[in-house]
Amino acid sequence: MTKRTIVGDSSPLIALAVIGQLELSPNLYQQVVIPEKVWEEYG
Domain extent listing, the chain: 5-42
Diameter over CA atoms, the chain: 32
pLDDT at 1 over 80: no
Give tens-digit pLDDT for 16-39. 889 999 888 778 888 888 888 888
Contact present, 35 and 42 (Cβ < 8 Å): no
Strands (E), the chain: 5-7, 31-33
37/43 Cα distance (integer angstroms): 10
pLDDT band at 2, cuts 50/70/90? low
Contact present, 28 and 4 (Cβ < 8 Å): no
pTM value surpassing 0.85: no
